Amino acid sequence: MLYIAVLWLMIILLTVLLKKQLK
């Protein structure tokens, strides 16, 4: 189930990028 870990990493990266842009 490696794709699940990759999916989580993508979601976390997207949330971090969104937070940086909202700044």
Does the global pTM surpass 0.75?
A: no
Residue 23 Cα distances to 13, 15, 19, 20, angstroms: 16, 13, 6, 5
**Residue 17 corresponds to which amino acid?**
L
- Confidence check: pLDDT of 14 > 90: yes
**Percent above pLDDT 70 for the chain:** 100
Average pLDDT over residues 4-15: 98
Q: If pLDDT is split at 50, 70 and 90, which confidence band does 23 have? A: confident
